[in-house]
Amino acid sequence: MKRKSWYQVILSLLVVSLVFLVAGCSSSSSKTNGVKKIQNRGTLIVGTSADFAPFEFPIVQNGQKKIVGYDILLAKKIAKNLGVKLKIENVEFSSLISELKDQKIDMILSGLSVTKQRKKSISFSEPYYTTKNVLLVRKADKNKYSSISQLAKKSIGVQQGSTQQTVANKKLKKSNLVVESVVTSLATELKDNKLDGVLVESGVAEGYVSKYPDQYAIASVKMPIEKESQSYSAGIAKNNQVLVKRVNKVISKLKQNGTNKKMLNQAKQLQQKYSK
Ligand code: ARG
């Protein structure tokens, strides 16, 4: 009697583990589809909003227009890791997430911040860059604003669909918010006295200041940022965890061997030399 029940236990354990094994295999093969699909196509399609130097911006080199930047260098590394070609789709920032959900692109690399809200609809890789918000102003106004209250009734530009728009809606209620689809137009309007400031991330603001030191400056006022949105990650479709893992591997390697810093410098140099 005793023996028989041991057999039964072992047998049921075997059955249970077999069930797990089969389930595990089938779910992992459905997960790899996301990467397989890209590899079968032979091309990784990355969506970006090329208005955000040094992360993504257009240049004309040898008479040819192309999109370059830190995110594009990262995209190249990821495509190489997958053994495929790279195609960059330039999409308005506020449409990137729906393009990803509609499977028109495989991945977003666009200075995309991780937020709880976005996490509901897409997955994120490990972060690859940390940032904060600043106020880009005309050089003459460099010392004009040291507190948020001084921004009351001022026209402050933010990019549509960005975390800057979200935080400005909450924390800059007294300002006149001007929402536009591309950051480059906001910067031009600031220069042309149509805006008083642009709420934008530090890396991008610094880019404007170093490229056009006579036109732009960063105000001393400390700008609000949601804690959750302080880093950039690749945006990937929710069901594509295999791609998330591949991208995480690439990112951690770049961080470990310091290539990420070199990529940023390379992008900054391109911005200084070729961007308009
Ligand atoms: N980090 C901000 C966000 O995720 C702004 C990103 C804007 N990116 C761009 N390429 N314009 O909302």
* Confidence at 2, pLDDT banded by 50, 70, 90: low
Structure token pair of residue 232 = 């950039």
- Beta-ladder partners of 135: 199
pLDDT at 4: 59
Q: What is the band of 268 on the pLDDT scale with cuts at 50, 70, 90?
A: very high
Question: Ligand 1: distance of its center to the CA of 26 in Å?
Answer: 36
Q: CB neighbours of 80 closer than 8 A, spacing ≥ 6?
A: none
CA of 110 to the centre of ligand 1 (A): 6
- For ligand 1, atom 12, the nearest C-alpha belongs to 162
The yes-or-no verdict on residue 138 having pLDDT over 70 is yes
Where residue 7 falls among pLDDT bands split at 50, 70, 90?
Answer: low
Q: CA 64 to CA 186: how far, in whole Å?
A: 25
Q: Are 160 and 93 in contact (CB under 8 A)?
A: yes
pLDDT band at 26 (very low <50, low <70, confident <90, very high): very low
How many C-alpha atoms does 148 have within 13 Å on its Cβ side? 14
Region 143-172 average pLDDT:
98
**Is residue 10 scored above 70 in pLDDT?**
no
**Index of the ligand 1 atom closest to the CA of residue 110:** 10
Residue 12 has pLDDT above 70, yes or no: no
CA 178 to chain centre: 22
The segment(s) of the chain belonging to CATH 3.40.190.10 are 36-130+231-274, 133-229
Could you tell me the distance, in angstroms and rounded to a whole number, from the CA of residue 215 to the centre of ligand 1? 23
pLDDT above 50 for 263: yes
Q: What is the DSSP string of 165-232?
A: HHHHHHH-TTSEEEEES-HHHHHHHHHTTS-SEEEEEHHHHHHHHHH-TTTEEE-SSPPP--GGGSEE
pLDDT tens digits, one per residue of 85-100: 999 999 999 999 999 9
The pLDDT of residue 128 is 97
Residue 27 clears pLDDT 50, i.e. is over it: no
Question: What is the tens place of the pLDDT at every residue in 46-80?
Answer: 999 999 999 999 999 888 999 999 999 999 999 99
Angle between helices 70-82 and 241-256 (to 10 degrees): 120
Torsion 152-153-158-161 (CA) sign: positive
Residue list, ligand 1 pocket, CB within 6 Å: 49, 51-52, 56, 93, 110-113, 159, 162-163, 183, 201
The domain made up of 36-130+231-274 has a fold known as D-Maltodextrin-Binding Protein; domain 2 (3.40.190)
CB count in 10 Å sphere of residue 38: 22
Residue 49 CA to ligand 1 center (angstroms) comes to 8
Classify domain 133-229 at the CATH class level: alpha beta
- pLDDT over 90 at 140, yes or no: yes
Q: What is the mean pLDDT of the chain?
A: 92
Taking the C-alpha atoms of residue 250 and residue 81, their distance in angstroms, rounded to an integer, is 7
How far CA 242 is from CA of 82, 109, 236, 257, in Å, comes to 11, 17, 10, 23
Q: Which atom of ligand 1 is nearest to the CA of 113?
A: 4
